[in-house]
Amino acid sequence: MKESEAGSRKPEAAGDAPEPMVRVGFTRDFLTPDGRVALGDIGIGLLDAAPGVAWAFLPERTAELRPDQIAGYDALALLGPKVTEATLAGADRLAVLARYGVGYDTVDLDACTRHGVMLTITPDGTRRPMGTAILTFLLALAHRLLEKDRLTRTGGWGRKTEFMGTGLTGRTLGIIGFGNIGQEAFRLAAPLEMRHLAYDPYAKPDTAAAANVELVDLDRLLRESDFVAIACALTPETFHLLNAERLALMKPSACLISTARGPIVDQSALTAALQTGAIAGAALDVFEREPVDPDDPILGLDNVILAPHALCWTDEWITRTGASALGGILEVAAGRVPPNVVNRDVLDSPLLRAKLERLARSGPGAGR
C-alpha cells in the first residue's frame, strides 16, 4: 500500500485459528478528512514487513482519546490527541504510546506509569528538522524577509531602504534549552560566526564548552542576546517562563523565536512588547492556544512571522520520526524495552512487565 492511502493490515488466518497478532493503532489525525495519509511516509512499511503485526487507523478523530478507542491495541502511534487518566482506564493491553515528536505535554505521564504504559518520543527524528526551523526563523528575521516580500507585492519597491536587515556576524544568539534541539541549532548556526549563549539548569558545562557555547543565567541571556530562541520542554517550571518582566529585559533591537511550546511565553505580554516596540520582532511556530484564534491581535502585527506548529514538518522529519516511533513499537512487539522512553519509572511496573512477557511469547518471531 502507498503511504498516501489510508487502510489497515488485518490479522491473517492460519488454518482455522488466527495467527497471534500484535495490534498497532494510529490516531486519526494522521489522515486528511477524505482518508489519505496526510504527512507522507509515516513508516507503515516497517509494520507491513514485520510478521505477526496488524495495524489500523482509529475510526474517529477526537481531541482526547477515549478508553474504547484504544481498547484492543498493544501499541498506539500518537500525533496530536490528549491522553489522560480517563483515556487509560482499563488499558490492560496497551504497552506503549509512541509519540511522533518530542513534546509530550498532551500526555498524562503519571497516568501512563500507573497503568503500565511506556511513552516514547523521537528525538533522533526531530533534532535536525527543528534545528533548521530555528535557523529558518533566524535568517528570515535578520533579513526582514516577510516585510520585503510584502513590499514587493504591494508596490512598495521604492521603500526598500527603510527595511535594512541585521548582519549576524558577531551578533549574539541565545537559546533557552541546551538539549538535542538547542545543540543542533547551535551547530547549524556555527558558520554564521555569532556568539552563542545558552540557559539550561540541567546542561553539562563540559558539553557546552566543547560546542563553544557559554552557559549563563536566563536574565543575562535575555539582556545580551540579539536573537533569543526557545528550545526547552513545557513543564510547570517553564510555563510563562518568558513573562512581561523577562521580555522587558530584552534589547529593543532583539527578536524572539518560539518553536517549542506556546505556553512557555506569555503571549499577551509578547503581543504588547511587539506592539510598543519593546522588542523588534518575533517568529512563532507555536501559540498559547492552538489553533490560534483568528481574532488574536498577534495575527495583525507586521513585525512577527507566524507558522501553524508545523515549520519542521518536512519529508525528512516524517521519515525519520516514523522510523524512530515505529521501530520502537516493533521492539515492544518483541517484548523488549524500546529507546527513548520518557517515563523511565514505568520499567519497574509489574503491569508493564506482564505486558512485555505476553508480547515476547506471542509477538513477531515467537515460536519460530
Q: Among all residues, which ones are annotated catalytic?
A: 261, 290, 309
DSSP letter for each residue of 251-316: -TT-EEEE-S-GGGB-HHHHHHHHHHTSSSEEEES--SSSSPPTT-GGGG-TTEEE--S-TT-SHH
Closest CA to 277 of 298, 251, 307, 308: 251
Q: How far apart are CA 71 and CA 94, in angstroms?
A: 8
Cell for 327? Answer: 521501530
Alpha helices in 13-117 (DSSP H): 44-48, 67-70, 109-114
166, 142 Cβ separation under 8 angstroms: yes
Amino acid at position 108, single letter: D
Give CA 308 to chain center in angstroms: 13
State how far the Cα of 125 lies from the Cα of 321, in Å rounded to an integer: 4
